[in-house]
A and B are shown apart, each in its own frame.
Chain A
């Protein structure tokens, strides 16, 4: 069944690739990550395949790009380290036929700044060191330490820091890297992954006794897959599994992860990670079969390349094992299935966009401008472009442009800054007008009640009309004197038309708040608002509340009639009706920093409503305080039950419908 699913999935992917694409066809589609939509979209090539090299390889498993851009490849099958020039041509081989310099299944290679070659010589269980001339110089066997006495020492990867301290990854070791001094003395374990804490383990710990616990297989940390070191001495580890959680860690000398356990995209099957001169990360992943570029904070930027077991194309891997970046920003990937190393060259477009991103990261917005503009000239879809150019315009005080760009990128922080500037401008220009306007509005509001009273005095309304007016006024009274107002209402019968009008007004206000709230409070694309879904979520809880409240309270000897529950629940919405409009206006004039005010007011509004619902229950059903608390709790539970039941009925009937629909399609359409 599972295989069948995979099969379907593959078919689906194939179809996704079917619509005509505007790009020239490289063997893979390059994509960028849109963080707003959490989705990968297509983009022009950032990297192009340059070639695949190495007829001499048998099983290349690791590569290291030396500071002079020579490529060192560890070939596990041929027991050799191959040295390649930057054009892929063979330069030298390291590893003797016999003697102490002979290698056995080397799996890792590292070259120091002065050209010394450290090899993780797995088969010989040692670190072998060769001089810059390729001659064997020394070796480090398993260190003499009681801590390591029981462990095997099968080094698979090695990196060396500036002081000559070696960080050795050993085969399937969960204890982390072995740290060796320049003389080969054991300096302790370093940077082990954390053991996975699952809920099951936690429950087991609670229930099982010591004896039983001993029999459990302990939850071991995952072994590290590959390691890299950057010029500042940070050690990067690549670890697969867990859907990318802690897939790449950036460890300082104390072994603390600067990425704080961040989850990396496209990293469930991570094989290796590389760092370029600017500190951007490049991973190679078996599950996705692609190279993914991350910025300094580990946020994904671009992905390229492809994996296909039967590959016969440049830029498509068979089984990628390791990745490196040289100083010209070329990406190198070892591929043990095609027995080659692939080289990718950055395109002009890629160069522009990555340079812009680096400058942006460093806050050098003005310098980034020409690069962003060149990117903008060729691609208007790329999201970071809008943040980047927005920042540039902000710095140039082109605030309106900045506002536009920030809004396009859904960058609320940048938008808020631009908005603040614009608002300040506006205020400076229109200060007098604003004050006068505010005074006018204030006077108008003062004048309305006076006028209203005058009209009433001049022409007293009929009895029925008066009652309606009184009911409307009750809406205000409910908010300030809830007990009093709900008691009054208990006796009075509010006209159903009024109730319906109030409810309609509430819905209208809700719609207004969806469409007219300020961008900073509601940063969404209005074209994608599902109005009905939003309204459903707004209306249904209220309706179920009425039903549940009435049912529960009548069982619990409440006095309230159904009509009274509806009346009360409608009036309890008064704070929403009254506060929302000022809130909508406010949301359009505040910046992000001031959104606390907005949030505070809406919090007060909701608490106010909760209080009203409480008072309403108490008054209408004539409960005591504690009694009503208890009944409200039961009501909430009842609401949950009703919803659950609803879901189950809906789900089952949908399944039934789907079954018949599928059957119908099968018979009518395809056979």
Chain B
């Protein structure tokens, strides 16, 4: 009996323990840093004539607070401009909304609370600083102010800290300061919701992180249509079934937790520096909650989830019991004059990233612009219990492809190979040996050696995140992430791998690929999706997922030399060499008036990125011009076989990929892209709209790229040099 149990244990457990998996790749266990609170000593200021009292100041800024309602104001010492957390008394007097909405408008926060017991769990109520039962206690540090709000009746306490910096200030909600002592708990918290709120008709805009960057002008005629913009950073939580109720919604998930406001020649940009993964960014038009335009971060502390009493019954909505115990911090940086626009905001965000080690080194200049050549090796198809591999491009054919492109003048190529796994990755956790029909390991080696001679990097694509119960030996129980109710989230047989298991699989692949000479891995999903894991034995947050993913990218880069991701969420930026399919289009929201290349401005010169593959565009000319305007690299997704043949192999998304059909066209398009080779390593310093269909992008050395969508042309005006 004992022997049998022992045997069973050994035969079953082929899986690496998760902590071992992390340790092998040299990735530290995720840590959740918690800021400590200020000392208890209360500070009781007296207000000046305008109602404000000076709290703290440094060389550049002074922070004021109103002792009566805890509103704050930030004065820029250089310009004398004052940003306030709320509209002025005069504006409040004119306001048309009443009741709670009116008091919200005068508060530096709005807290939404719920109860996790009984029937009324979906009943949300809000409380703000003007609530009579709320007590605010001020205390100070050398460069900061802490306001502790305590609501005796609700039993809720939390602290809001403001800390001055050289560029502005940080607003922080330390998790240590949150106390839930009654029946009620915090659901979410809006921090400084009306900071910099603007009226219709003012000159300026709200900036929101929609696609590459979205502007909302202070226009007056949108009230009837738009209900506002409120979206979670890095997308909705995939473990939560509620989020699938609005299925089919297609939009560009937020890749970077940044928002901002421009008013006249003043602007600020706000970066969520802690807890961005659990925040919503919200922008409201007038007519919904007030008569102002405002943008802010809404901090999520709990989720609604569907609680299943039994398999058959309809699930009930419930609120998560345990609070997400992470610090939240938003860093505001202020801009004025020429810098007070979205280009300035992008600059400030780039500075913020490099100050904090979240952006890698600048790129080295290149002679020719790199062309990212995605090669589809092939895939499997399943029919009638048979699984067969359907090759689309063998290693030999890929060699010919590269040679052909070089003959056509494509002088800098990076290859990314898809579908190289045994049976094209049919067994999701069993990738090796490299598919025989493509040429096997020997074929791969020969291909890579040939490419090395030509100074071309060969990267392999893989997905280590989605697993399927049918096609893997890994059990959902030990490797799948779990929803709030503690069960593994399985979607039609598919489940998400625990981040540590992802590392485990990737580590094994990296070790083997290194021997073959592969120079990097393009990771699917790592750069675009994060999630909680409510495994009762070890609860992990989206923040933990972010940390492990960054570690994996770092490990891959150190071991192989190159790592790449899709979409390129901001947490990957420090450790990647390439972003595939970076966002370049808006989500087509009613709310967004203009789409601007905010994220490209941040990233250009640091990480090369490409948009939609050149042979798979929706709109051939416009998307090409967009790539030129936004400084993207050319990329093509090719096969040796005719696309039509690929459909039977399940590659129906490659609707136009045959190399032979594309070789000449690629040669021509590459020459156009190559006109921008000299700005490859430069930052974008300006971007402007010249006319309705004409845009100009300016680089460090003064090179100006003018793109005209009207007559479908572009011109490169070379700069004088740096």
**Interchain CB contact under 8 A, A4 and B314:** yes
**Interchain CB contact under 8 A, B590 and A52:** yes
**How far apart are B657's CB and chain A's nearest CB, in angstroms?**
8
Interface residue? B711 (CB, 8 A): no
Interface residue? A41 (CB, 8 A): yes
User: Beta-carbon contacts of B237-268 to A below 8 Å, as 1s and 0s?
Assistant: 00001001111111110000000000000000
Interface residue? B224 (CB, 8 A): yes
Chain A residues 41 to 61 lying within 8 A of chain B, measured CB to CB, are 41-45, 48-49, 52, 54-57
Complex: how many Å from CA A525 to CA B384?
14
**Interchain CB contact under 8 A, A15 and B653:** no
**Interchain CB contact under 8 A, A11 and B221:** no
Chain B residues whose CB sits within 8 angstroms of the CB of A200 once the complex forms: none
**Interchain CB contact under 8 A, B477 and A380:** no
Interface residue? A671 (CB, 8 A): yes
Chain B residues whose CB sits within 8 angstroms of the CB of A348 once the complex forms: 619-621
Interface residue? B491 (CB, 8 A): yes
User: Beta-carbon contacts of B212-252 to A below 8 Å, as 1s and 0s?
Assistant: 00000000011111111100000000000100111111111
The interface residues of chain B, by DSSP majority, are classed as loop
Chain B residues 603 to 644 lying within 8 A of chain A, measured CB to CB, are 611-613, 616-621, 623, 637, 642-644
Complex: how many Å from CA A56 to CA B490?
46
Residue with the highest number of chain B CB atoms closer than 10 Å, among A1, A312, A348: A312
Chain A residues whose CB sits within 8 angstroms of the CB of B475 once the complex forms: 668-669
**Interchain CB contact under 8 A, A314 and B590:** yes
Partner of B225, one of A45, A338, A528: A338
User: Beta-carbon contacts of B651-683 to A below 8 Å, as 1s and 0s?
Assistant: 011111010010000000000000000000000
**Interchain CB contact under 8 A, A527 and B383:** yes
Interface residue? B591 (CB, 8 A): yes
Interface residue? B396 (CB, 8 A): no
Interface residue? A25 (CB, 8 A): yes
Interface residue tally for chain B (C-beta within 8 Å):
71
**Interchain CB contact under 8 A, A380 and B655:** yes
Interface residue? B494 (CB, 8 A): yes
Chain A residues whose CB sits within 8 angstroms of the CB of B494 once the complex forms: 15, 18
**Interchain CB contact under 8 A, B618 and A14:** no
Residue with the highest number of chain B CB atoms closer than 10 Å, among A23, A377, A669: A669
**Interchain CB contact under 8 A, A55 and B222:** yes
Chain A residues whose CB sits within 8 angstroms of the CB of B244 once the complex forms: 10-11, 14
Chain A residues 213 to 235 lying within 8 A of chain B, measured CB to CB, are none
Complex: how many Å from CA A41 to CA B652?
8
Chain B residues whose CB sits within 8 angstroms of the CB of A27 once the complex forms: 249-251, 587-588
User: Beta-carbon contacts of B555-598 to A below 8 Å, as 1s and 0s?
Assistant: 00000000000100000000000000100110111110000000
Residue with the highest number of chain B CB atoms closer than 10 Å, among A17, A22, A44, A379: A22
**Interchain CB contact under 8 A, B221 and A530:** no
Partner of A12, one of B226, B251, B492: B492
Interface residue? A140 (CB, 8 A): no
Interface residue? A210 (CB, 8 A): no
Interface residue? A533 (CB, 8 A): yes
Query: Which residue on chain B has the smallest CB distance to residue A667?
Result: B477
Interface residue? A259 (CB, 8 A): no
Interface residue tally for chain A (C-beta within 8 Å):
67
Chain A residues whose CB sits within 8 angstroms of the CB of B222 once the complex forms: 55
**Interchain CB contact under 8 A, A528 and B248:** no
Interface residue? B290 (CB, 8 A): no
**Interchain CB contact under 8 A, B245 and A22:** no
Partner of A22, one of B383, B491, B616: B616
Partner of B612, one of A12, A18, A24, A339: A24
Interface residue? A20 (CB, 8 A): yes
Interface residue? A429 (CB, 8 A): no
Complex: how many Å from CA A349 to CA B469?
40
Interface residue? B476 (CB, 8 A): yes
Chain B residues whose CB sits within 8 angstroms of the CB of A11 once the complex forms: 241, 244, 247, 491-492
Interface residue? B33 (CB, 8 A): no
Interface residue? A497 (CB, 8 A): no
Complex: how many Å from CA A347 to CA B617?
12
Interface residue? A396 (CB, 8 A): no
Complex: how many Å from CA A347 to CA B620?
10
Q: Knowing A7-B245, A55-B221 are in contact, say whether A378-B492 is a contact too (CB < 8 A).
A: no
Chain B residues whose CB sits within 8 angstroms of the CB of A1 once the complex forms: 312
Chain B residues whose CB sits within 8 angstroms of the CB of A98 once the complex forms: none
**How far apart are A20's CB and chain B's nearest CB, in angstroms?**
7
**How far apart are B156's CB and chain A's nearest CB, in angstroms?**
30
Complex: how many Å from CA A459 to CA B623?
83
**How far apart are B346's CB and chain A's nearest CB, in angstroms?**
22
Q: Knowing A52-B225, A380-B643 are in contact, say whether A25-B477 is a contact too (CB < 8 A).
A: no
**Interchain CB contact under 8 A, B250 and A10:** no
**Interchain CB contact under 8 A, A20 and B524:** yes
Chain A residues whose CB sits within 8 angstroms of the CB of B589 once the complex forms: 312-314
Q: Knowing A41-B652, A308-B249 are in contact, say whether A22-B384 is a contact too (CB < 8 A).
A: no
Query: Which residue on chain B has the smallest CB distance to residue A4?
Result: B314
Interface residue? A72 (CB, 8 A): no
User: Beta-carbon contacts of A336-358 to B below 8 Å, as 1s and 0s?
Assistant: 00111000000111000000000
**How far apart are A400's CB and chain B's nearest CB, in angstroms?**
16
Interface residue? B135 (CB, 8 A): no
Chain A residues whose CB sits within 8 angstroms of the CB of B455 once the complex forms: none
Interface residue? A29 (CB, 8 A): yes
Interface residue? A633 (CB, 8 A): no
Interface residue? A576 (CB, 8 A): no
Complex: how many Å from CA A41 to CA B588?
23
Q: Knowing A22-B637, A22-B654, A314-B588 are in contact, say whether A306-B248 is a contact too (CB < 8 A).
A: yes
Q: Knowing A23-B612, A42-B653, A312-B229 are in contact, say whether A13-B383 is a contact too (CB < 8 A).
A: no
Interface residue? B131 (CB, 8 A): no
Interface residue? A151 (CB, 8 A): no
Q: Knowing A15-B494, A530-B383 are in contact, say whether A313-B590 is a contact too (CB < 8 A).
A: yes
User: Beta-carbon contacts of B488-500 to A below 8 Å, as 1s and 0s?
Assistant: 1011101000000
**How far apart are B711's CB and chain A's nearest CB, in angstroms?**
15
**How far apart are A148's CB and chain B's nearest CB, in angstroms?**
40
**How far apart are B528's CB and chain A's nearest CB, in angstroms?**
9
Chain A residues whose CB sits within 8 angstroms of the CB of B655 once the complex forms: 22, 43-44, 379-382
Q: Knowing A25-B252, A525-B648 are in contact, say whether A670-B490 is a contact too (CB < 8 A).
A: yes
Query: Which residue on chain A has the smallest CB distance to residue B311?
Result: A666
**Interchain CB contact under 8 A, A308 and B248:** yes
**Interchain CB contact under 8 A, A527 and B648:** yes
Query: Which residue on chain B has the smallest CB distance to residue A2?
Result: B314
Chain A residues whose CB sits within 8 angstroms of the CB of B588 once the complex forms: 26-27, 49, 313-316
User: Beta-carbon contacts of B453-489 to A below 8 Å, as 1s and 0s?
Assistant: 0000000000000100100000111001000001110
Complex: how many Å from CA A669 to CA B472?
12
**Interchain CB contact under 8 A, A24 and B585:** yes
**Interchain CB contact under 8 A, A24 and B661:** no
Interface residue? A21 (CB, 8 A): yes
Complex: how many Å from CA A668 to CA B222?
53
**Interchain CB contact under 8 A, A3 and B637:** no
Complex: how many Å from CA A314 to CA B588?
5
Interface residue? A28 (CB, 8 A): yes
Q: Knowing A45-B618, A308-B249, A312-B229 are in contact, say whether A528-B383 is a contact too (CB < 8 A).
A: yes
Chain A residues 436 to 452 lying within 8 A of chain B, measured CB to CB, are none
Interface residue? A458 (CB, 8 A): no
**How far apart are A388's CB and chain B's nearest CB, in angstroms?**
14
Between A and B, 26 residue pairs with Cβ closer than 8 Å are: A11-B241, A17-B247, A22-B612, A22-B637, A23-B616, A24-B585, A24-B611, A25-B251, A25-B587, A27-B587, A28-B250, A43-B655, A45-B618, A48-B619, A52-B590, A55-B225, A308-B248, A308-B249, A313-B590, A349-B620, A377-B656, A380-B655, A668-B477, A669-B477, A670-B476, A670-B487
New contact pairs (17) apart from A22-B612, A313-B251, CB-CB < 8 Å: A11-B247, A18-B466, A20-B524, A24-B584, A24-B585, A24-B612, A24-B623, A42-B652, A48-B619, A52-B590, A379-B656, A528-B383, A530-B383, A665-B469, A668-B477, A669-B469, A669-B490
**4 closest A-B pairs by CB:** A14-B247, A380-B643, A55-B224, A22-B616
